[in-house]
Amino acid sequence: MTNKKYPQVRTHLFKDYIAVPEVIRKSSGILINGKRFKALLFTTDIALIMNNDADAIMAVYPFTPHPAIIEAITSVSTIPVMAGIAGGTTQGIRSANMALFAESHGCKAVVINAPTPTDTIEKINEVIDIPIILTVVSEYTDIEEKIKAGVDIINVSGASKTSKIVRKLREAYPDIPIIATGGPTNESILETIDAGANAITYTPPSNGELFSRKMMDYREREKDRFEEE
C-alpha cells in the first residue's frame, strides 16, 4: 500500500510548534483504551506542552511527585498526559493517592521509577484503572515480579544501551508494550524501533535553546531592516 496524502492546516501563530521526528511514526504504537500512542514528548515545561504535535506528554521529573504539578500540566495540555507518581523516595499509600489523583485529572497512564517496591505497585494497581508504566534504566532490572504486581507497560531509558535493553526485553516478553527513548538521531530512533519498541519518547530542545534560536532570528531581521534603510 502507498501512503495516502493528507491535507494539512497550520495557523500563523502555531507555526513554531515542537515537531517530533517523523521517523517515530514508523513504530507500531501502543493502543491504550482505544487511542494509539507513538510519539511521547518528554517534558514538564508548560509552554512546550501547549505547543507540540506529539501524541502524549510523558511528565516525569526528578523531584517528589506533587498533585499541584499534575494539576498544572493537565490543565494546559491539549493531549493526553502520562504522569510520574512514584519511585525511590515516594512510595506506599502516598504513591497510590498520587495515582488516583492523576487518574481523576484525566491522565491516560501513570509512570513509576525502577526502584518502586512491589507492594507499592500492588497498592497503586488496587486503586486505579489506567495503565501502570514501569521505567527500566538497566539491563539488570528484574521486572518479572513487577509485571505480576500490576505493571502494564515498560518504559526503557537506558542511554546508549537503550536499544540493547529493548531487544532483551522483547525476546523475554514478546507481547508486552514497550516505550523507549529514541536518542538524538533518526538512525538511533529507527534502531530502537527495530529492537522492539512500540512507541518513542522524544526530548525536545529546552525553552532556553528555543529562545536563543528566536533571538538570532530577531537579530537577523533587525540587521536586514537596518541595511535596507
pLDDT at 2 over 70: no
The residue-averaged pLDDT of 193-200 equals 98
pLDDT at 3: 65
| 176-186 pLDDT per residue, tens | 999 999 988 99
Q: What is the pLDDT of residue 176?
A: 97
For 82, list phi and psi in degrees, rounded to 5: -115, 115
pLDDT tens-digit profile of 27-44? 999 999 999 999 999 999
What average pLDDT does the structure give for the chain? 92
Query: Which is nearest to 200 in space by CA: 59, 37, 82, 9?
Result: 37
192 located within any domain: yes
198 belongs to a structural domain = yes
Rounded CA-CA distance 153/132 in Å is 6
In a domain, 83, yes or no: yes
Give the tens place of pLDDT for each residue, 105-143: 999 999 999 899 999 999 999 999 999 999 999 988 889
Instruction: Locate 3 and state its grid cell.
Output: 501512503
Residue 1 predicted with pLDDT over 60: no
CB 136 within 8 A of CB 157: yes
pLDDT of residue 111: 98
CA 116, CA 126: separation in Å to the nearest integer?
15
The count of domains in the chain is: 1
Residue 1 lies in a domain: no
Give the closest residue to 133 by CA, choosing from 185, 183, 58, 202: 58
The answer to whether residue 8 is domain-embedded is: no
146 within domain boundaries:
yes
CATH number, position 23: 3.20.20.60
Number of C-beta neighbours around residue 124 at 10 A: 28
What pLDDT band is residue 13 in, cutting at 50, 70 and 90?
A: confident
| DSSP type of residue 73 | H
Would you say residue 11 lies in a domain? no
Q: CA 68, CA 80: separation in Å to the nearest integer?
A: 17
Other Cβ atoms less than 10 A from the Cβ of 163: the count is 24
pLDDT tops 70 at residue 83: yes
Find the domain containing 81 and state its range: 18-228
Does residue 15 carry a pLDDT above 80? no
**Is 9 part of a structural domain of the chain?**
no
